[in-house]
Amino acid sequence: MPLFYGWYIVGVGALTQIASVFSLSSTLSVFLKPVTEDLGVSRGAFSLVRTVEVLISAGIAPLIGPVIDLYYLHRVDPNVPIEETVGAMARLVEQGKVRYIGLSEAGARTLRRAHAVYPITALETEYSLWTRDAEKEWLPTCRELGIAYGAYAPLGRGFLSGNIRSADSLTPGDRRQGHPRFESENLARNVQLLKPLEETAAAKGCTPAQIALAWVLAQGEDIVPIPGTKHLHHLEKNIRAVDIELEGADLAKLNETFVPGSTAGTRYPARQMGNMGR
Ligand SMILES: NC(=O)c1ccc[n+]([C@@H]2O[C@H](COP(=O)([O-])OP(=O)(O)OC[C@H]3O[C@@H](n4cnc5c(N)ncnc54)[C@H](OP(=O)(O)O)[C@@H]3O)[C@@H](O)[C@H]2O)c1
């Protein structure tokens, strides 16, 4: 069972060395910030066709090698027809710069339109015990079309490790301070959801983070969790989640508490929520 790791743990230098061992996937905005700056390309125009082409040809090759295995559009630009953007991404495949293409935070209708232009290999969208939005429409659409699902932030941005119990534990500059779910009042309510997760972890002799990942893995072989960490000891522990078998009773206990919609606060600030599932 594969477990993907985000760019945050892997320096660009390391990428050149491991490229032959691991598959590389990239989204445009996070990784390419320095490149967009060098080229003077607006980061606000991530999905514009020209940006996609310019960044791939000028930016990626010198950094990690000539080919990206899986290249995601991050995010769908409402001002550019998805057919146009996917058409440009398909040309990158034809040119041998990219092997497969994916979308991030695309809605069901967009996925269908995109897939009609060129096969979409994966959708990368948030999914975890406390973020179940995908179950309603996006995940079923992926399954219908045979598209894999990359579950980003499967640890609830650290919340599901049980280590963040009050807003005070976030240091200044931590991006989660701007996330409604981590605001004091919401966080206090969300912490109450952790009990069954921690009980299950204790009963199985593992960590809540491992159970959170095992839960994502248990949702289907077509779902690949993408946990992030800056710490090797977390990475080593998290990888062990692939060996954890959650039984029906364990899953039921977790599902009864983390009922879709039970999390207090939206997963992104209001101004960003409009860009999700477009
Ligand atoms: N496509 C998109 O729009 C999008 C958006 C966001 C993220 N992503 C991708 O998804 C990946 C994961 O997202 P994410 O990092 O925001 O959220 P996440 O994986 O849900 O959570 C990461 C957080 O959990 C902590 N953590 C990890 N393992 C832990 C452990 N064993 N015990 C305690 N704490 C642990 C990390 O802290 P430490 O660093 O201290 O371990 C970090 O703060 C990113 O690397 C990125 O590639 C994609």
Q: Write down the pTM of the prediction.
A: 0.86
Q: Scanning the structure block, which residue is given the tokens 């491991």?
A: 18
Evaluate if residue 4 carries a pLDDT over 70: no
157 lines ligand 1 (CB under 6 A): yes
**Mean per-residue pLDDT over the chain, rounded:** 82
Tokens of 94: 């034809």
163 lines ligand 1 (CB under 6 A): yes
- pLDDT computed for residue 53 by the predictor: 57
* Rounded Cα–Cα distance for residues 276 and 136 (Å): 14
H helices present in 118-269, as ranges: 138-145, 184-191, 194-204, 208-217, 232-239, 248-257
**Rounded mean pLDDT of 182-194?**
97
Alpha carbon separation from 89 to 26, 32, 68, 137, 148 (Å, rounded):
13, 16, 12, 24, 18
The rounded percent of the chain whose pLDDT value lies above 90 is 60
Q: 44 CA distance to ligand 1 centroid (A)?
A: 23
CA nearest ligand 1 atom 43, residue: 158
Evaluate if residue 162 carries a pLDDT over 70: yes
Q: 204 CA distance to ligand 1 centroid (A)?
A: 23
Evaluate if residue 151 carries a pLDDT over 50: yes
131 lines ligand 1 (CB under 6 A): no
* Rounded Cα–Cα distance for residues 265 and 215 (Å): 22
The rounded percent of the chain whose pLDDT value lies above 70 is 76
* Rounded Cα–Cα distance for residues 61 and 151 (Å): 26
Q: In what order do the strands lie in the sheet with 122-126?
A: 25-27, 68-73, 98-104, 122-126, 148-152, 223-226
**Rounded mean pLDDT of 140-147?**
98
Is the peptide bond preceding residue 75 cis, with omega within 30 degrees of 0? Answer: yes
| Across 34-43, 149-158, 163-172, 252-261, least confident range | 34-43
* Secondary structure, 3-state, 257-278: HCCCCCCCCCCCCHHHHCCCCC
Evaluate if residue 29 carries a pLDDT over 50: no
Pocket test for ligand 1, best of 71, 101, 234 (most atoms within 8 A of CB): 234
Q: 147 CA distance to ligand 1 centroid (A)?
A: 23
Query: What residues form DSSP beta bridges with 161?
Result: none
Pocket test for ligand 1, best of 226, 237, 267 (most atoms within 8 A of CB): 226
125 lines ligand 1 (CB under 6 A): no
8 lines ligand 1 (CB under 6 A): yes
For the chain, list the domains and their CATH numbers.
1-120 (3.20.20.100)
Residue 218: Cβ-neighbour burial (10 angstroms; 0-12, 13-18, 19+): middle
204 vs 93, residue with greater confidence: 204
Q: 4 CA distance to ligand 1 centroid (A)?
A: 11
pLDDT category of residue 69 using cuts at 50, 70 and 90: confident
Query: What residues form DSSP beta bridges with 27?
Result: 72
Evaluate if residue 17 carries a pLDDT over 60: no
pLDDT digits (tens, 9 = 90+) for 246-265: 999 999 999 999 999 999 99
- pLDDT computed for residue 200 by the predictor: 98
CA nearest ligand 1 atom 47, residue: 6
Alpha carbon separation from 7 to 116, 123, 208, 214 (Å, rounded):
29, 17, 23, 21
CA nearest ligand 1 atom 27, residue: 229
Q: 272 CA distance to ligand 1 centroid (A)?
A: 19
